[in-house]
Structures are given as C-alpha cells and as structure tokens.
Amino acid sequence: MDTNSFEGFSETERGNTYLTGGEGKVLILIGLNVNEDDTEISQFLSISIIPDNYPAVNVDEMKIYLKDLENDIKEYNDGWFVNKWNLPFDAPVNKAGYIESDLDFEGEEE
C-alpha cells in the first residue's frame, strides 16, 4: 500500500454515508471517486463494524457501479437506520429513516 496516498486525508460523516444496524453494526461509506452519472465505476472506502464477526472491524476499498451499490444496500442493509446519507441517489427509507428493501428509491413500495 502506498502510505503517501492518504497524506492529509481527513473525512467525517458530513459528506459521506453512515448507517447503523442492530447489535452495534455500523457501515460507513466514504466517497473517494464517485461517478454520479454511473457510466464508470465509483470508488469508496468502506468501513464496517460487525461485533459478532471476527474480525469485527473491516476497512476495504470498494469499486462499484452506483446501481449495484443501490441493490447491495437494499439487500444487505434492510432494517438499518440512516444516520447520514450522501450518495447520489435517494435512500430507500421509511418515514422513520430505516432502510426497507421493498421500497424503491423514491420511498414508495415497489
């Protein structure tokens, strides 16, 4: 890993995405290179904390099309609370702010 690539790197949830699930689960997505028109792969730093896993904390580089990220969030984060949402598509959340896999990204049932 090139240690100079993160020189001066500092991020918060302000411009990123922060989700929490039950039992202390956390997912933070930090946009490194986001292609908002989804014609190319976007790059994120993904930080997850899943206390009942070992290892419980993972930091990974994620390269993904935004449409695929939408589908993954709906599939793997159903029932999670959206603390902060800064992705270039609407969150599939109910009125209480929880992700619902049976909602489309305008908050209506599919």
- Helix, strand, coil % over all residues of the chain, rounded to 5: 20, 35, 45
Neighbours of 35 (CB within 10 A): 13
pTM of the model: 0.86
Tens place of pLDDT per residue across the chain (110 aa): 444 567 888 888 889 999 999 999 999 999 999 999 999 999 999 999 999 999 999 999 999 999 999 999 999 999 999 999 999 999 999 999 999 988 665 455 55
